[in-house]
Amino acid sequence: MVVGEFTQDADLLIIGGGPGGYHAAFRAAAGGIATTIIDAEPGLGGVCLHRGCIPSKTYLSLAETVHAAAAAKSMGIDFGKPKFDIDAIRGWKEQVVSKLVGGLDALCKKHGVDRVRGVAKFEDGKHVAVSGADVSRIKFRRAIIATGSRSIELRGVQIESPRVMTSKGALELADVPKTLLVIGGGYIGLELSQVYAALGSKVTVVEMTGGLLAGVDGDLARPLLKRLKDELHEICLETKVTGMKEVKGGIELTFDGKKPPKAQRFDKVLVAVGRRPNSSTLDLDKAGVAVDDRGFINVDEGFLTSGPKIWAIGDVIGNPMLAHKALHEGMVVADILLGKDAVFEPQAIPAVVFTDPAIAWAGCTEVEAKAAGLDVVIKKTPWAASGRAVAMGRTDGLTKLICDRSTGRVLGVGITGVHAGEMISEAVLAIEMGAVAYDLATIIHPHPTLSESLGDTAHLIPS
Ligand code: NAD
């Protein structure tokens, strides 16, 4: 083999080693398809594992510990003021990531998935050129594109500086800035605001629209907003950043909006204004793969692109950009390739904002139900009524059920509160199985648990 000039054959080539890509790879390989997966990074896991979901949840669980220790004071235990060792915290995050990367390596070996570290670009509908690897070209019979997404930049405003971060930089946790400006009040902006605030940063959030967490029902967001008002320095809605420049010791920013903050200097800035698909560097046109005007790859209901025998899954095909959506899509495509009768027809893709309190929802939201003109009955139970929540000192939550008025069928569920993300799966099962409120009300929930609030809320829906 001449290093750098070697062409490899693959029955199935998967481009991108995130949750979508590696789940597809393991399933296809387990079913007997000779599978190669290519990723630019040394370890599998993609943004989710290295620079997204897992690092942020590692830090968020530490933030929760800080909150719980502070709250314990009023319950008779004083842990004192926390002391942070940022190097050790970063080290813990790295241990978490490398443990999971090691698990994926072992699964790759177990399933016999061939791995290539490098960057792929299509040459045509049957070959990719590879850079940065021993292999220079891969000839494939079939391919799955699972290249994910990357942070959007604030065009015309954002400057290049180590003080201006995307989520990737923020999760590296180089230091804890005294002052942090977070641009964007969505999932990433709020999750990371809470992490940095718990570690001691004075955090200001600016959001362009009139509310945080677009798409989340107002009543579900309220308990979180109440808490954020205490934890963060300022939240400015209907506010845009108009200028950013590096000055001594920080970044100076100017704002415009309804009640814009005065121009001021921040030690660091986090830009979290959404994500865009990683499609533009793949030379997709050479393979006949079409994208829409935002760069998302067009696919049919079986995830087949316009390219011959080329499928696409995950963030690169569109919203919602969620790891669990990508991984299910990956497994469906693998099953299709294995000749199985597989379809992707979820009734509910759950969403979770892993803040403290967390917000989770599945099925339709109240706003969506109203916009669609659905005749629904909506009931809510505040967590002040939950013995478990009271015992935990965490009554800042609520459970909400949206049911069809005539049949009682569960159409949507929203939960705010600690562990909401763990609780939402019961709601997903109910929606997927076509359960009615009576079913949720009459199954026996263990007492005392937070999950009882689902049963209690279901009891309020007339059957
Ligand atoms: P987002 O779409 O959730 O939020 C971006 C926010 O930035 C919006 O509220 C938007 O109005 C605001 N914004 C846009 N331009 C702005 C500007 N110029 N000035 C001020 N505000 C502006 O995007 P995100 O937080 O970057 O997250 C990206 C995606 O990643 C999400 O859609 C989500 O699917 C995924 N994600 C999921 C999780 C999770 O599942 N817990 C966590 C993080 C990210």
Higher pLDDT pick, 6 / 49: 49
Query: d(Cα 399, Cα 386) in Å, to the nearest integer?
Result: 10
Confidence class of residue 37 from pLDDT cuts 50, 70 and 90?
very high
Mutate to test the pocket of ligand 1, among 61, 244, 254, 275 (most ligand atoms within 8 A of CB): 275
Q: Which amino acid belongs to residue 54? A: I
Atom of ligand 1 nearest to the CA of 323: 40
Q: Is the pLDDT of residue 117 over 70?
A: yes
Determine whether the shortest distance from the Cβ of 189 to ligand 1 is under 6 A: yes
Q: Are residues 147 and 282 in the same domain?
A: yes
The CB of 209 under 6 Å from ligand 1? The reply is yes
Structure tokens belonging to residue 227: 């808490």
Q: Are 139 and 288 in a shared domain?
A: yes
Residue position matching structure tokens 């009576």: 438
Contact 92, 58 (CB under 8 A): yes
Q: How confident is the model at residue 3 (pLDDT cuts 50, 70, 90)?
A: very low
Mean of the per-residue pLDDT values of the chain: 97
Q: How confident is the model at residue 134 (pLDDT cuts 50, 70, 90)?
A: confident
Q: For residues 130 and 208, state if they share a domain.
A: no
In a domain, 346, yes or no: no
For residue 5, the model assigns a pLDDT of 65
Average pLDDT over residues 282-299: 98
Q: Is residue 1 part of a domain?
A: no
Copy the structure tokens of residue 363: 């099925």
Query: Can you tell me the distance from the alpha carbon of 129 to that of 4, in angstroms, rounded to the nearest whole number?
Result: 11
Among 314, 337, 360, give the residue marking a domain's end. Answer: 337
Q: What is the sign of the dihedral through the CA atoms of 121, 122, 128 and 129?
A: negative
- Same domain? 426 vs 328: no
Distance 275 CA to ligand 1 centre (A): 7
Q: What is the atom index within ligand 1 of the atom nearest the CA of 190? A: 25
255 and 145 belong to one structural domain: no
pTM equals 0.96
H or E element, residue 239: strand 239-247
For 445-461, what is each residue's pLDDT tens digit?
Answer: 999 999 999 999 999 99
Q: What dihedral do alpha carbons 407, 411, 415, 419 form, nearest 10°?
A: 110
Q: Is the CB of 157 under 6 A from ligand 1?
A: no
CATH number of the structural domain spanning residue 90: 3.50.50.60
Is 463 inside a domain boundary?
Answer: no
Domain count, the chain: 3
- CATH number for the domain spanning 448: value is 3.30.390.30
In a domain, 343, yes or no: no
Indicate whether 16 and 143 sit together in one domain: yes
Per the annotation, the verdict on 447 as an active-site residue is yes
Does ligand 1 come within 6 angstroms of the Cβ of 93? no
- Confirm whether 64 is domain-assigned: yes
363 domain-assigned = yes
Please give the C-alpha separations between residue 414 and each of 370, 373, 399, 440, in angstroms, as whole numbers: 15, 19, 6, 14
Bridge partners for 399 per DSSP: 381, 415
For residue 67, give its domain range.
Answer: 7-151+277-337
Residue 93 Cα to ligand 1 middle (Å): 23
Average pLDDT for residues 10-24, to the nearest whole number? Answer: 98
Report which protein residue has its CA nearest ligand 1's atom 12.
Answer: 184
CA of 459 to the centre of ligand 1 (A): 35
Q: Is there a single domain that holds both residue 130 and residue 31?
A: yes
Q: Is residue 242 in a domain?
A: yes
Task: Give the C-alpha separation, 131 to 205, whole Å.
Answer: 40
Contact 44, 105 (CB under 8 A): yes
Whether 90 and 21 map to the same domain: the answer is yes
Tell me if 132 CB under 6 Å of ligand 1: no
CA–CA distance, 116 with 35 (Å, rounded to integer): 11
- Mark whether 253 and 316 lie in a shared domain: no
Residue 112 lies in a domain: yes
Q: Which of 229, 248, 273 is the last residue of a domain?
A: 273
Q: Cβ(208) to ligand 1 under 6 A?
A: yes
25 lines ligand 1 (CB under 6 A): no
Distance, in Å, from the CA atom of 359 to the CA atom of 178, rounded to the nearest integer, reads 28
Q: Report the distance separating Cα 207 and Cα 184, nearest Å.
A: 5
Separation of CA 190 and ligand 1 centre (Å): 9
Residues 301 and 269 in one domain: no
Alpha helices in 245-365 (DSSP H): 323-337
Ligand 1 atom with the smallest distance to the CA of 322 is: 34
Ligand 1 pocket residue status of 188, Cβ below 6 Å: yes
Report the C-alpha gap between 370 and 57 in whole angstroms: 33
* Whether 394 contacts 386, CB under 8 Å: no
Q: Are residues 228 and 176 in the same domain?
A: yes
Report, in this order, helix, strand and coil percent for the chain, each rounded to 5. Answer: 35, 25, 40
| CA nearest neighbour of 167 among 310, 250, 271 | 271
CA of 271 to the centre of ligand 1 (A): 9
Residue of 224, 201, 230, 194 lying closest to 211 (CA atoms): 224
Ligand 1 centroid, distance to 152 Cα (angstroms): 9
Tell me which of 286, 309, 337 is where a domain ends.
337
Do both 18 and 122 map to the same domain? yes
What are phi and psi for residue 260, nearest 5 degrees? -70, 145
